[in-house]
Amino acid sequence: MVKVVFPNPFEIDGSWFKGNIHSHSINSDGILNVFQLSFLYKANGYDFLFITDHNKLTDVSEISEKMEDFLVLPGEEINAGKSRVGTEYHILSLNITEEIPKGDPQVIINETLRQGGEAVIAHPYWSALTVEDILNLKGFLGIEIFNTTCEFSIGKGYSTIIWDDLLVRGRNTYGFVTDDVHWHFNPHRPVDACYGYIMVKAEDLTANLIMESLRRGLFYSSTGPKIIDMEVDEESVYVKTSPVKIINFISNSSLGERFTGISNPITEATYRFRGKETYVRVEIEDYEGRRAWTNPIYLEK
């Protein structure tokens, strides 16, 4: 008998909150200040925003007091260590209280956890990290699977292969879409703001409850399409979506399955487990190439 481990956000009470966990203000190399960033994201339908300046813990207390129905959360993006090819890791330290210095990636993760925060490995593809660079780290909550500014600037937004490389090795971890907004604008490409998002199921819009839901994996990630419902039992996973072109069930090696709307959009699909999967995750794509991702469903023997 298969044991299915998936805290299904669609079956848990609460409300959905839209957020971005990676952004840069004028306190590092962003163009907008924290007020402008917060109003921009609120005006575009987001409910919360983490400010994660490079190697600086930007004070968000003043903006937090002024915003209504919008949560501004503290964080930092920290340069850390060296990969096997000599590039630096970038680590998001979310909801921390004290600035964390540059240094060894594991030390930064540990310090983030000590402060009650959570760590996410930023843009592995852009950083030229391989699965080997990440496998030896412990205690991080997830990795960025899509980063808007990395995609719009140099076409290196997607790190989903590294996610599967970790999952197939039993390193269970969440996938996050982030904007990494700097307000980079350029006439030959779109601006890197208000594109990607995560939808978090939480009881209320508070820092503690959003962090608790992130820890439990009660969210999905998107650059456009919506996931409307999921039903998971010992035999199958069903997903209902906004109209899309593709619904993928991604799993170990040759397992998994793709459903495609050849001439008309599709809005639902069911995958029946074959018995050898250790994880299955859902990835959908609309006709404009925008995607959404659920967190993995784990199957234990």
Residues that bind Zn ion (CB under 5 A): 77, 90, 122, 180
Q: Which is nearer to Zn ion, 184 or 281 (CB)?
A: 184
Interacting residues of 66 by C-beta distance below 8 A, sequence separation 6+: 35
Task: Give 63 or 120: the residue with its C-beta nearer to Zn ion.
Answer: 120
Query: At closest approach, how far in Å is the CB of 24 from Zn ion?
Result: 6
One-letter amino acid for residue 192 of the chain: D
Shortest CB 165 distance to Zn ion, Å: 20
Contact call for residues 50 and 181 (beta carbons, < 8 A): no
Query: Measured between alpha carbons, how far is 289 from 109 in angstroms, rounded to an integer?
Result: 34
Least spacing, CB of residue 196 vs Zn ion, in Å: 13
Least distance CB 30 / Zn ion (angstroms) = 9
Nearer to Zn ion, 120 or 122 (CB): 122
Nearer to Zn ion, 88 or 257 (CB): 88
Is the Cβ of residue 77 or residue 151 nearer to Zn ion in the bound state? 77
CB of 5 to Zn ion, least distance (A): 31
Nearest-approach distance from CB 115 to Zn ion, in angstroms:
20
Measured CA to CA, the distance from residue 6 to residue 216 in angstroms comes to 9
Cα–Cα distance measured from residue 93 to residue 261, given in angstroms and rounded to the nearest whole number: 40
Q: Determine the 3-state secondary structure of 216 from DSSP.
A: helix
Please state, as a whole number, how many other Cβ atoms lie within 10 Å of the Cβ of residue 127.
22
Residue nearest to Zn ion (CB): 90
Query: Closer to Zn ion at the Cβ: 55 or 242?
Result: 55
CB 108 within 8 A of CB 139: no
Q: 191: closest CA among 200, 202, 180, 207?
A: 180
Q: CB-hemisphere CA count at 13 Å for 290?
A: 16
Question: How far is it, in rounded angstroms, from Cα 204 to Cα 16?
Answer: 9
